[in-house]
Structure 1
């Protein structure tokens, strides 16, 4: 396999990439690109544009482009998606005239239009990673943008030669969108080098719990505040830090005031990875109360840092967190179950110590990008070989 790698050129299509990160998708794509480049793969990343200004930089051998919008955009989210995909398609078409791409790797429905059109234009394989599905998210969220998201998801899966999903549950979700979807389960990866980097943030002088993610309904932060209010009745000297941004920021601050716990909560806003790592290493525990979670990379990050981890028993957490061994699982959506789990961890120092012990080695063994990238490259080569035989 190694003799083929210098000729492998991957075109990655994504809606997120540093510094434009909203959630786990951008972190995943960054890790993917970084470790592909370490394997001497030529990597070009195209990020959906959102302005008339074009952006380009090269970092660690990775070429990163954010095309300018070439079509007018009204106030509709769907209009922006259409314009951004058109700009991405046109820019990739131009790049393909001077660089021969081997394969396209698309990420989620937001780039479906560009990905499917480029597959036809360039006549090369398309691999996609499905990070979540609209159908599953709709069960817990009313904040979804307008437009035919399910149809975009289905289009991406129909044009994909192989679909990477991170968990068995996501495999079932993909098949619910498109029957017979050509899936393969490969978990998301962590980058230990990045997880060791830290940047100090405002110090908190009392023991604190940490939770972070996009402030949207499916992440379960509203329930976390209710649970923390219950915990504060007995754990007076305790603080809660919530990192992230999103549409629930103002509602959550109002909820904290109504519960009378606003003085015991810090909303940090968006945390970059260095700030997140700093807070994780010092937290009494990390709490991830999602109502829907396709993979749950945050829990793996927490375990790597040796932070006692509590997560809801949904989606990817059921596969990444081993209850009682690497963390604690609680009943999703249950304030009582989460409160019990947090109290159990805080009142049993030995359990807390055991959950943090040897967990770092577990995450490196199971989720290191170095191992995962080899599986993804093998998928690329298989699809390229299949395409060559077909032609």
Structure 2
């Protein structure tokens, strides 16, 4: 098949897990013999002089990375303007590079399917699917309502939510990475097609396994991820003094960056954990593997998590898993076979699960081994690509009908911890 993947991030431009997901999917599809083109962008803050549009082939995938246009838009302050400008560039590249200069059939390339990844590429993906008259598949990796506990009353929240709704409404097939995300997307958007679940995959070879052995000295816990409210680091900090009562000297290493660093640092002071908690900031792949091999357990206390790729990466390295049941984490980890779980925002449950893990390191090591063994069967990229191709093969472009604006149900902002915006 000729497959056009549209994504706002793709290596070397990687913002989060979405870029890695699209990269693995694209290369796996290419390895299976499909003709894959990825339409993506150059780095933010660049221009066509320093970073012109490129058309290259890497790992069997044709990658068209579109230059930013000259108008000055910043994603952090002008998100919608920036997004629309990026989409405009994508559409022009799709018409001039893929369809061929001046419509020359000798250089044209027409996809069999357009696959959009998240709302930020909704405009170019919908336009190109219409221009090429081919089906559009969308993978919705997260939702604005989910990220903000259902609150979409703010202007930007409503705008993002409405674009997500539009993307779902225009799709001929929708994919989510977990059962919980399928339920969320169905409830929020009621798309006119079936929502199918295809879990994220992992290349376990990039995360070498090291069996846990009993060691002396205080326990070391690890958190890896973005420092955002929905990641629940505040609950782990609240639990840590309780954990240290039964396991004296336990320390916590936090690997990641985000908007809530200052607030979390204040909580560390509040709980008198200054000498106990270490903020490393963002770390590279090699350093993260080292931390997973060194620490006694990784704790992922998310309050909202569409899937939780970090759980799979951690499982590959052999570190015992202690995770919340938020969203896809509850599907990535099977309690008690492959890890221990607790309800989101349940500090007492988190405390109990960590204590149980640290008190019986041999049982924790057995669970870690089972978690690693499960990866090859349930979360390989070959399996992800095969199931995605099945969606491509079955999907048909349906007749479009004019649509009105969505009805957005506003919910009040949930009560949050003091000091958190």
Give the TM-score, by structure 1 length.
0.88
2-side partners of 1:18 and 1:140: how far apart?
31
Aligned to 2:305: 293
Q: Deviations over 1:166-220 (max 9, x none)?
A: 222211111123224431111111112222399xxxxxx9642111111111010
How many residues align? The count is: 375
Matched, 1:32 2:31: no
Q: Deviations over 1:292-348 (max 9, x none)?
A: 111122112222222110111221122221111100011210222111111111011
1:165-314 matched pairs, under 5 angstroms = 165-179=176-190, 180-196=192-208, 207-314=219-326
Aligned to 2:121: 111
Q: Deviations over 1:223-254 (max 9, x none)?
A: 11121233234433332121221111222223
> 1:88–1:114: 8 Å Cα contact kept in structure 2?
yes
1-side partners of 2:57 and 2:277: how far apart?
39
Aligned to 2:59: 60
1:152 Cα deviation from its structure 2 partner: 0.6
Aligned to 2:403: none
> 2:219–2:358: 8 Å Cα contact kept in structure 1?
no
1-side partners of 2:122 and 2:7: how far apart?
10
> 1:143–1:216: 8 Å Cα contact kept in structure 2?
no
* Closer, same or farther: CA 64–145 of 1 in aligned 2, 3 Å: farther
1:278-357 matched pairs, under 5 angstroms = 278-357=290-369
Match among 367, 390, 393 for residue 381 of structure 1: 393
* Structure 2 unmatched ranges of 5 or more: 101-106, 211-216, 401-421
Matched, 1:72 2:71: yes
> 2:152–2:161: 8 Å Cα contact kept in structure 1?
no
> 1:223–1:335: 8 Å Cα contact kept in structure 2?
yes
1:280 Cα deviation from its structure 2 partner: 1.7
* Closer, same or farther: CA 377–156 of 1 in aligned 2, 3 Å: same
Task: Report SS of the residue matched to 2:275.
Answer: helix
1-side partners of 2:208 and 2:72: how far apart?
41
1-side partners of 2:311 and 2:394: how far apart?
32
Q: Deviations over 1:96-124 (max 9, x none)?
A: 12333222111111111111111111112
Q: Give the number of the structure whose alpha-carbon radius of gyration is greater.
A: 2
* Structure 1 unmatched ranges of 5 or more: 1-7, 199-204
Q: Deviations over 1:350-390 (max 9, x none)?
A: 3212212332111211111112211111221223xx459x9
Q: Deviations over 1:142-162 (max 9, x none)?
A: 999825011111111122111
* Closer, same or farther: CA 144–206 of 1 in aligned 2, 3 Å: farther
> 2:9–2:18: 8 Å Cα contact kept in structure 1?
yes
Aligned to 1:137: 147
Aligned to 1:10: 3
> 1:31–1:369: 8 Å Cα contact kept in structure 2?
yes
Match among 45, 49, 61 for residue 38 of structure 2: 45
- Quote the RMSD (CA, aligned, Å): 2.6
2-side partners of 1:153 and 1:20: how far apart?
22
The answer to which of 45-54 and 278-287 deviates more is 45-54
Give the TM-score, by structure 2 length.
0.82
* Closer, same or farther: CA 269–46 of 1 in aligned 2, 3 Å: farther
Shift >6 Å, 4+ stretches: 140-145
1-side partners of 2:185 and 2:193: how far apart?
7
1:21 Cα deviation from its structure 2 partner: 2.4
2-side partners of 1:249 and 1:42: how far apart?
43
2-side partners of 1:172 and 1:221: how far apart?
25
1-side partners of 2:97 and 2:112: how far apart?
13
